[in-house]
Amino acid sequence: MNKFKSISLALAMAISLAACGNQAANEASKEEAKPETKTEEAAKEAKDLSGISGTYEGSAKGYGGEIKVKVSLDKGVITAIEAEHKETSSVGGAGLERIKEEVIAKNSTDLDNISGATISSAAFLSAVNSALEEAGIKPEDLAAKEDENGRDAEITTDTVVVGAGGAGLSAAIQMAQDGKNVTIVEKAGITGGNSSLASGGMNAAETKLQKEEGIPDTVETFVADTMKGGHDKNNKELVEKMAQESSAAVDWLEELGAPLKQLKFSGGQTEMRTHAPINDEGKSIPVGSYLVSKLTAKAKELGIEIVYDAKADKIIMEDGKAAGIEATYPDGEKLKVNAKAVIVATGGFGANKELVEKYNPDLKGYVSTNAKSIQGDAIGFLGDVGANFIDMKEIQIHPTVVQKDGSLISEGLRGEGAILVNQDGKRFVNELETRDFVSKEILSQKDPSAWLIVDQSMMDQSSTIAKYFEKGLLTKCDDYKALADLIGVDEATIKETIEGWKQIVKNNQDPDFGREGMDQTRSDLSVAPYYAVQISPGIHHTMGGVEVNTNSEVLDKDGKPIPGLYAAGEVTGGIHGANRLGGNAVTDIVVFGRNAAKNAEEYIGK
């Protein structure tokens, strides 16, 4: 009962007492004024649905296409829902699973959308409502069930991991495998964060796959490439640790049921070291959604508690040591997690335009590829406990971003044979240069933008490219003329460019821009039709963040570890220097997520 209703009832009772002047009248007025409970009101208004059983179908348009559902009813109660959709498994698909569980548990579609998968979850609810309509039921006719589980106000655990992206999931899984009690607190309604959007692969050196394919890569070469790519601003000790443990991290993923079976080139690599997943048909698929789905499933299998929709606000400190966190639910209710150690894995701040502009004013107005939840929350609560931050102005722009919606076109496409042409239909850069260099060259072209071109053979080998086409990002061009018309140049120019590329691949020599490794590309663009997309740079990764050492301990402004406090992933600074190489972010989250877990375990055991 709200405050205003209580006041009204009290006033009514006072008036009744004055009028009747006796206890009997008072009791009568109390009984008369007694409000009905929600249950009684619902019982009066509830429609009899006991005669409605069966399976009913409905549909609605989601982010990735049509979402079709089959809703099973038993005497007007939802007992099961089957969904057919094309949503991304780790984002929209994960959101659908969560909202489906809630609909069944609460026997209601009057629910909030899942944060992080708003479009998909809203479409799912609409599809269920359309199925109910087919059954002759209005959504409000359903007899909603009370939430039996509710939400925790306080939790006690060995370690609390803040953030359920790739680094947070890796840390939590490692701890659970080692027998530690761990709880993840995630501010979105699904796992993944920016990790879900990773498209290329994971860099690793001296792996079994490289040895099988005769790639003469070494840890030292991996370190040298990363330092060069980061303009030697990287913390070399962190880079060495990442490279040294990269092969073991790939093996660990395979043990979890997430093998990376394909090798690709990414920009800035001396040797082919980007390890990528493939589907059952042998086609390449995005690494991010693949890993997040596999890691989330493993976390569930291990019984790891994940608290969703809780935004961390504060690190609890006791006697100078991290002792848990405080978080807030969307409705303002608080959550306290008591823990012996805290691992922060909240990601960067690439979706926070104000922070991006604050640290690098030159990037004002740039579109971002980041998940909306990547807002730099940890900058505040880590700063409050005296943590030090480094390289904050080092913000990477990715060269191939669709400007209308921030969709990223994977760097792996260029490694497989895609080329970039300018508005004149001509190549203008080595497509496998570092991201900052390629971005700079695109920005120097007129518009400033460029076109990325693939052919049918690449389409046939990659479900990633097929997804781009399904989403309407790529335009199909049947021949040179159609491709030239799309770009706005004459047919002879685009023909000359692509025929020239065929010769470059054949000769394994790029006299104009020095691109190497064409003999290992999967296409020479000789198979029409062609597919093209106009791109320009967009904000992609924040290299700066909280300072950590090789134990993943968070350092204070004096360079000393804050006891019990660890960090991993994009929230940290120092690993990537002034520019991150494609494929290194996934290595970062897995290697340092596990590293934070192992060192937190050692700390707890002391």
- End-to-end Cα, the chain, rounded Å: 51
Length of the chain: 606
User: How far apart are alpha carbons 555 and 540 in whole angstroms?
Assistant: 25
DSSP-derived secondary structure for 417-451: T-EEE-TTS-B-S-TTS-HHHHHHHHHTSSTT-EE
Backbone angles phi, psi at 583, to 5 degrees: 95, -15
Give the C-alpha separation, 188 to 429, whole Å.
39
Are the C-beta atoms of 568 and 167 separated by less than 8 Å? yes
DSSP sequence for 263-287: EE--TT-SS--EEE-B-TTS-B--H
Task: Report the DSSP pairing between strands 159-162 and 182-185.
Answer: parallel
Angle, CA 240 vertex, CA 236 and CA 246 arms, to 5°: 145
Q: What is the DSSP letter of 248?
A: H
For residue 139, the SS3 value is helix
* CB 239 within 8 Å of CB 227: yes
Amino acid identity, position 536 = S
Contact partners, residue 303, CB within 8 Å, separation at least 6: 176
- Backbone phi, then psi, for 564, in 5-degree steps? 80, 5
Among 289, 295, 334, 331, CA closest to 314: 334
Joined together, the tokens standing for residue 30 give: 């109390």
Q: Which residues are catalytic?
A: 435
Distance CA 306, CA 87 (A): 22
- Coil, strand, or helix at residue 56? strand
Burial class from Cβ neighbours inside 10 Å (0-12, 13-18, 19+) for residue 516 reads middle
